[in-house]
Every structure is written in C-alpha cells, then in structure tokens.
Amino acid sequence: MMSFFRAVVLAIAALFATATVSAQDTPGGEKRVAITFDDVPRAPGPWLEEDDRTLLLLANLERAGVDQAAFFLNPGRITQREGAKDRIAACVAAGHVIANHTATHPRLSQVGLEAYLADLDAAESWLRGQDGYRPWFRYPYLDEGSRDKPKRDAMRAALAERGLLNAYATIDASDWFYEAAAKKAVAAGTPVDRDALRDLYVEAHVEAAEFYDGIARQAWGRSPVHVLLLHETDIAAMWIDDLVRALRAKGWTIVSADEAFADPIAADAATYDTPFAQGTLTEQVAWQEGVPAPRWYRGNNTDLAQEWFDARVLGRSANNAD
C-alpha cells in the first residue's frame, strides 16, 4: 500500500515540478531551519483539490529532501473537511509529525482564558495517542496574549502543566497572504501569472529567513536552529521544493522540527518579557534584548505585500489598480 502511495506521490510531483534537486542542493552551512505548516486541515485553495494538495505537498517535500516537517492541527475542523483524517495520516506515514494548534483557531487576545484552554484541550485530546504526535503547541496568529501580560503568564503556566512546548516560529513571511490574494484573483477571473507568484513566494521567504537570522544573531549571539512558519496551501504544495532549493543556495540546511525545538532558545519562549506578546520568537527576544528596529520582516506588512502581488503577479502598476 505504501509503495503504491509513494509511486502516486512522485508521479504527481513530476507533473508539477519546475526543476529537479541536484547534487548542488546538498545541505550545508551553519544556518539551519525546520519547516512547519499551520492550520491543518485547511480550506481549499485557488487551484487544487484537498487530496491533490496533500499528495503534491508530500511529493515535493520528498523531492526537496525534507525528511520531517511539522503539521500543526486544528482537529475541530477535521469533520468539516472530507477525507481530512486520511490526509493527516498520509503526512505521518510520510515521516512528518503533528502537533496542537487549538481545535478551532481562536485568537488568545480576543477570548477568555478558560475558553481558550478548553479549545486547546479539545485538540490535545484528539492528538494524544495519534501516530506522529509531538507535545508541542503553536498559538494561532502567533498571539500569546498581546498586551495582556497576566493572560500571557497564565498561558505559560498552563502549557507547563500540560507538558506542552511553545512551538514558536522564528521566521515568518505571511505566506497565507499570497494564497488569499491568489484565491481572490482567481475567483474574480483575473489572470494570475503563476511563475511570477512562485518567484515572489520564494524570494519573500528567503529574504525573511536572511532578515530574521540577522536579528537572531544580534539577540542570541549566534544563529539558532530556526523554525519557518508556513501554511497548508496550494502555493506551498506547488513550490515548496523551489523554496527549499533557494534556501540551500543561500547556505541554509533543512533540519527536522525535532532538532529545531531541541535548540536552547526554546527556553526563551517561556521567559521573554516584551510590552506586546505576539509574533515570531526572534522579534520578541530581539525587542527584549534592545535590538533596534526593524525587528519585523517588511513583507509582513500586507499593504506592501499587496503592492508586490499586484505589480508582479497581476501586472498592475500602482496607478492602474483596475
């Protein structure tokens, strides 16, 4: 069964691949990063059916030599997405791991602590005992309480009581935005230059990785094992291998999520103290350590990202938005 599944996965990848991985793509260098995907199971994107998206994503992760990525689940949405349990099982069968992203994706700063923890626990009750499970928790929206320090600290205590690691991200380039922009354009019948979108997606994430590594070296005095935040999107499924290849060309080594969350910086996720608890661990620790702004990747400004998308993907100038 698994040999058949593997053959199907690789066949689909061959149809979508834009290039092959060569010996020149061998990992190397001191910059290390793990790849993670949020919001699983995610709604359909602009182009792919959900089963096809999972097959393609797994195929291109394998083509890229990513042995272990982490998928952060919202189990409360599994019944809403037909076939979701089978797709999650396929991810685990391919060697990847799964962890907690709450049951229904609430924002901590906008709900009460008791309700939030009930949602977290509902997800955990589904996850525990599943193959590939890791005792990690990632905050939806990377929102750890925003300006509410008592709530932030109560959540830290709750995670410790449950034996859950704060599965922070250190690199974020708002990949969800490009998927949403493409979906909106496709729904409106607007032609989308997929090659240009691929290039923009890849370039933005490589630029973000380099940016966050620069401020990480200032905050920690070294390059930690980074954690890249992505989402389960059509864009990731189609072009994750292009992104991995581009990262390697910049000297990045792709490592497992297990290795990333074993880095000593994991302890900082439970100790940093900033006026606003939201975003990547990199920017929050840099804020605490007095690293001067900007500490936030410019492409996370969605107004700027929209300008890039309009100009490069839709071929619109700033004066010709229509």
CA distance to 244, 288, 297, per residue, from 207 (Å):
13, 23, 8
Q: Which whole number is the average pLDDT over 45-64? A: 98
In a domain, 194, yes or no: yes
Domain extent, residue 138, equals 2-17+30-313
223: domain CATH number is 3.20.20.370
In a domain, 23, yes or no: no
Q: What is the mean pLDDT of the chain?
A: 91
Residue 319 is predicted with a pLDDT of 54
In a domain, 108, yes or no: yes
pLDDT digits (tens, 9 = 90+) for 269-287: 999 999 999 999 999 999 9
In a domain, 25, yes or no: no
In a domain, 318, yes or no: no
> What's the rounded Cα separation, in Å, for the pair 171 and 35?
10
- Residues 100, 159, 39: CA angle, nearest 5 degrees: 20
Instruction: Name the percent of the chain lying above pLDDT 90.
Output: 89
In a domain, 118, yes or no: yes
pLDDT digits (tens, 9 = 90+) for 174-190: 999 999 999 999 999 99
In a domain, 87, yes or no: yes
Count of structural domains, the chain? 1
Q: DSSP H helical segments within 109-148, as ranges? A: 113-127
In a domain, 294, yes or no: yes
pLDDT digits (tens, 9 = 90+) for 151-167: 999 999 999 999 999 99
Residue 15 is predicted with a pLDDT of 46
Are the beta carbons of 280 and 168 closer than 8 angstroms?
A: yes
pLDDT digits (tens, 9 = 90+) for 112-154: 999 999 999 999 999 999 999 999 999 999 999 999 999 999 9
Q: Which whole number is the average pLDDT over 228-246? A: 98
Reply yes or no on whether the pLDDT at 12 is more than 80.
no
Banded pLDDT at 19 (limits 50, 70, 90): very low
> What's the rounded Cα separation, in Å, for the pair 126 and 41?
14
Nearest to 219 by CA among 267, 288, 120, 299: 288
Residue 143 is predicted with a pLDDT of 98
Residue 49, C-beta contacts closer than 8 angstroms, at least 6 positions apart = none
pTM: 0.90
- Counts for the chain of helices (H) and strands (E), in that order: 11, 10
Banded pLDDT at 4 (limits 50, 70, 90): very low
Reply yes or no on whether the pLDDT at 13 is more than 70.
no
Residue 264 is predicted with a pLDDT of 97
Residue 119 is predicted with a pLDDT of 98
pLDDT digits (tens, 9 = 90+) for 60-81: 999 999 999 999 999 999 999 9
Residue 265, token pair as written in the block: 């910086």
pLDDT digits (tens, 9 = 90+) for 205-226: 999 999 999 999 999 999 999 9
Task: Say whether 134 sits in a helix, a strand or coil.
Answer: strand
pLDDT digits (tens, 9 = 90+) for 86-107: 999 999 999 999 999 999 999 9
Reply yes or no on whether the pLDDT at 7 is more than 50.
no
Which of 7-11, 85-89, 228-232, 293-297 is least confident?
A: 7-11
Residue 41 is predicted with a pLDDT of 98
Residue 294 is predicted with a pLDDT of 96
277-278 and 31-40 strand pairing:
unpaired
Banded pLDDT at 317 (limits 50, 70, 90): confident
